[in-house]
Amino acid sequence: MAAHDGVRCMMMRAGTSRGLFFLEEDLPGDVEERNDLLLRLMGSPDPRQIDGLGGATSLTSKVAVISRSESDQAEIDYLFLQLGVDEPTVSDQQNCGNILAGVAPFAIERGLIQPRDGVTEVDIRMVNSDSIARATVQTPAGTVTYAGDVAIAGVPGTAAPIDLGFTGTEGSATGALLPTGRLRDTIEGLTVTCIDNGMPVVVLTADSLGLSGAESHAELASNSALLERVNALRIAAGELMGLGDVSASSVPKTMAVAPARDGGQFAVRSFIPVQPHESVGVLAAISTATALLLPGAVGHELSRDWPTTTSRVDVEHPSGHLLIDVAVDSTVSPPRVERSGVVRTARKLFDGLAFPRS
């Protein structure tokens, strides 16, 4: 595709991320050609992404590729691609629960889904993990509405709620909820739990890294020794989790947990995969809460006083709180995830033609 040829594209803020949304039919069928086009549209590789649509962070360098699904369990297929900022990388090794929030509205807007008057439920196959999510979108008078009164931490203002429920997320990238077969491992001298309930993560206590768990994003980002240690940990953990050499991959994430300080149920500082997250990823938070619910896993003591009358979990992160839903049956071996979900919001930012650099 020549630089003067535009490609149909919608930019959306979805959850606490921002990304470019495409119909699969609007992109080249060849994967290498597609990835090259997406990098040129995003402005990568360049730490500022000054000549593209990226926002110079991993949270704003994301792509959703949408098509009708041939699965009998879903209506829409959603392929998530994480683009590098200062490196020309395109990864399909993970899901993104934030970008997922924009998939159903986009599919309705593009005419792939016939909306109902009131709310519209859309079953989505997350291609990266071959798992299913159901999104419930507000569609009064059969039209997607983005205006509403739901606030989520890390996003100014309010918007309409988008309910996301997940099934089949166990072992999304690794094939097993506990990919090492153990509740605890010692990696790089640190005691960790490796878990994958929609996102492969390495869970450890913040104090094992010399942290309180209340550090700001800026404090973490400026601690080069900490980031080097996190990188060494995740590379070693990736091998142990069956992910191979993850030195150039965006997974696994590292999740440092600590007692809550602001009325939540636990605090987390997340690294994606090396730089600290300004908030927390949806599926990474779900995987972490899943670990905390398992007796014997790292951080399980943080869940001992959680209410037994609800599966809602309030997660504190650097930008505020994330409310998720996680239920696990830990009486069976291996443990079984009963359900997980989250409430997110999304907003259409622009819809039109995007032009790649030459």
The pLDDT-based confidence of 1 (bands split at 50, 70, 90) is low
Domains of the chain plus CATH, in order, are 7-167+345-354 (3.10.310.10), 185-333 (3.10.310.10)
pLDDT of residue 167: 84
Contact 290, 340 (CB under 8 A): yes
pLDDT in tens, 81-138: 999 999 999 999 889 999 999 999 999 999 999 999 999 999 999 999 898 999 999 9
Choose among 97, 109, 115: nearest CA to 163.
Answer: 97
Residue 320 neighbours by CB distance under 10 Å: 17
Buried b / exposed e over 7-43, threshold 16 CB at 10 Å, is: bebbbbbbbbbbbbbbbeeebeeeeeebbbbbbbbbb
Choose among 210, 198, 194: nearest CA to 297.
Answer: 194
Choose among 241, 257, 344: nearest CA to 294.
Answer: 257
* Statement: residue 256 has pLDDT above 80: yes
pLDDT of residue 2: 54
Paired with 344 in beta bridges are 162
Residue type, 169: T
Give the 3-state secondary structure percentages of the chain, helix then strand then coil, rounded to 5.
20, 35, 45
Contact 145, 139 (CB under 8 A): yes
Q: What is the mean pLDDT of residues 199-203?
A: 97
Give the torsion through C-alpha atoms of 195, 199, 205, 209, to 10 deg: 120
Choose among 200, 192, 126: nearest CA to 170.
Answer: 200
Contact 195, 291 (CB under 8 A): yes
Strands (DSSP E) found in 42-130: 62-68, 76-83, 90-91, 118-126
pLDDT of residue 285: 97
What residues contact 114, with CB distance under 8 A and at least 6 apart? Answer: none
What residues contact 96, with CB distance under 8 A and at least 6 apart? Answer: 17, 19, 62, 80, 82, 281, 282, 283
Taking the C-alpha atoms of residue 2 and residue 99, their distance in angstroms, rounded to an integer, is 28
Contact 157, 328 (CB under 8 A): no
pLDDT in tens, 259-305: 999 999 999 999 999 999 999 999 999 999 999 999 999 999 999 99
Contact 3, 37 (CB under 8 A): no
Contact 305, 354 (CB under 8 A): no
CA 52 from chain centre, in angstroms, equals: 23
pLDDT of residue 303: 97
Question: Tokens 């908030």 identify what position?
Answer: 279
* Statement: residue 3 has pLDDT above 60: no
What residues contact 54, with CB distance under 8 A and at least 6 apart? Answer: 42, 43, 44, 60, 61, 83, 85
